[in-house]
């Protein structure tokens, strides 16, 4: 009996996810319909012009915006990948990780760590600083620079 209940729960959860995905898709279509109306053209014409201007489909453009927003949230606000993914509209952390890796070339947390290290290194090398990277390393090691 418990086995049948767990199976039914999985089916219900799967249906719920599909319905939410359909609702999100419907919302996206409504947005594009509104934009097309504002621009005075049909949705397919708007898509055609959008692709000509941006060299990407509206869906690709939206995906890029979401990925960049999630990256910013992880970098600035210190969110973990799953939290950032859900905040920008992803319903699946694994899908977010796949798309993030495809777009930025590294998994989310490895990319954020690399960005933070690069930012630290560039701030240490910035002009106007009285200590260089070499002298900071020496100070951290407890040795004096000659």
* Tens-place pLDDT, residues 12-39: 555 554 444 444 544 566 677 888 888 8
Integer CA distances (angstroms), 101 to 31, 93, 111, 134, in order? 28, 12, 9, 33
Domain boundaries, given as residue ranges, for the chain: 1-55, 57-129
**What sign results for the dihedral spanned by CA atoms 13, 15, 16, 17?**
positive
- The CATH number, out of the four listed (1.10.10.60, 2.40.50.140, 3.30.70.870, 3.60.15.10), of the domain defined by the range 57-129: 1.10.10.60
Closest CA to 85 of 102, 105, 63, 106: 63
What rounded mean pLDDT belongs to the chain?
A: 77
| Whole-prediction pTM | 0.62
* Tens-place pLDDT, residues 58-72: 888 889 999 999 999
Q: Is the pLDDT of residue 89 over 60?
A: yes
Check residue 21 and give its pLDDT: 47
């Amino acid at each position: 009996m418990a086995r049948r209940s767990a199976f039914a729960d999985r089916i219900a959860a799967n249906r719920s996810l599909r319905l939410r995905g359909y609702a999100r898709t419907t919302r996206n279509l409504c947005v594009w319909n509104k934009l097309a109306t504002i621009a005075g053209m049909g949705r397919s014409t708007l898509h055609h012009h959008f692709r000509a201007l941006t060299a990407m489909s509206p869906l690709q453009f939206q995906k890029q915006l979401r990925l960049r927003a999630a990256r910013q949230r992880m970098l600035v606000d210190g969110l973990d990948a799953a939290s950032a993914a859900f905040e920008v509209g992803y319903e699946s952390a694994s899908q977010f990780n796949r798309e993030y890796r495809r777009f930025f070339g590294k998994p989310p947390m490895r990319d954020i760590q690399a960005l933070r290290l690069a930012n630290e290194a560039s701030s240490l090398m910035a002009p106007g600083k009285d200590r260089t990277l070499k002298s900071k390393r020496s100070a951290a090691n407890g040795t004096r620079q000659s």
